[in-house]
């Protein structure tokens, strides 16, 4: 296990807003940003689009994420292929992965439903770590709000897996 490297990742899923209730479906984007804790810097980034098998991308999802059905048709790949690329380019079980919230559970559930192996085993929930570090016992905080509270400027469009993973890596460098 390489404890000097952490791979921050973010998922975007098919999503809908019906009667004010948000729901999500299959993964359509995985963004990754690897940090080197010894050098204290981001060393690698990637963005993978995933073709959903059962879900379609709604107008709400396009507005929220900027991911269009056309983009997925052109650049999307099956989840199995994307996971293989993740492991090849970022390492699988020999790296620690980190996310804000429980994206690892979302990925696990989708992998299980599609008969795929998880690309990693160890995952840090940085939202929980942040709440512990800041003694926020009964309060939740979003990724962007936490980052801005630490004086770190948010860069790019929120709800892009690529952008969110990069910003999470910037925040992680101050936490780990």
Instruction: For each of the domains in the chain, give its residue range(s) and CATH number, in order of start.
Output: 2-174 (3.30.420.10)
Choose among 29, 17, 19: nearest CA to 65: 29
The model's pTM is: 0.96
pLDDT band at 80 (very low <50, low <70, confident <90, very high): very high
- Alpha helices in 6-154, H assignment, sequence order: 59-65, 69-75, 79-90, 103-113, 126-133, 143-149
Measured CA to CA, the distance from residue 9 to residue 123 in angstroms comes to 10
Query: Which is more confidently placed, 137 or 169?
Result: 169
pLDDT band at 137 (very low <50, low <70, confident <90, very high): confident
The set of residues, in sequence order, having a beta carbon less than 8 Å from that of 84 and lying 6+ positions away, is none
Q: Which two tokens stand for residue 23?
A: 């729901």
């Amino acid at each position: 296990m390489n404890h000097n490297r952490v791979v921050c990742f973010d998922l975007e899923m098919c999503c809908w807003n019906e009667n004010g209730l948000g729901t999500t479906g299959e993964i359509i984007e995985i963004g990754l940003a690897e940090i080197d804790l010894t050098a204290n810097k981001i060393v690698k980034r990637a963005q993978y689009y995933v073709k959903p098998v059962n879900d379609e991308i709604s107008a709400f999802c396009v507005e929220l994420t900027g991911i269009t059905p056309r983009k997925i048709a052109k650049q999307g790949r099956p989840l199995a292929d994307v996971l293989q690329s993740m492991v090849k380019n970022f390492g699988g079980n020999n790296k620690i992965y980190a996310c804000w919230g429980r994206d690892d559970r979302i990925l696990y559930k989708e992998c299980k439903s599609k008969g795929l192996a998880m690309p990693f085993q160890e995952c840090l929930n940085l939202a929980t770590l942040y709440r512990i570090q800041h003694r926020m016992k009964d309060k939740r905080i979003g990724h962007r709000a936490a980052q801005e509270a630490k004086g770190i400027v948010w860069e790019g469009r929120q709800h892009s897996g690529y952008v969110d993973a990069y910003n999470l890596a910037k925040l992680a460098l101050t936490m780990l």
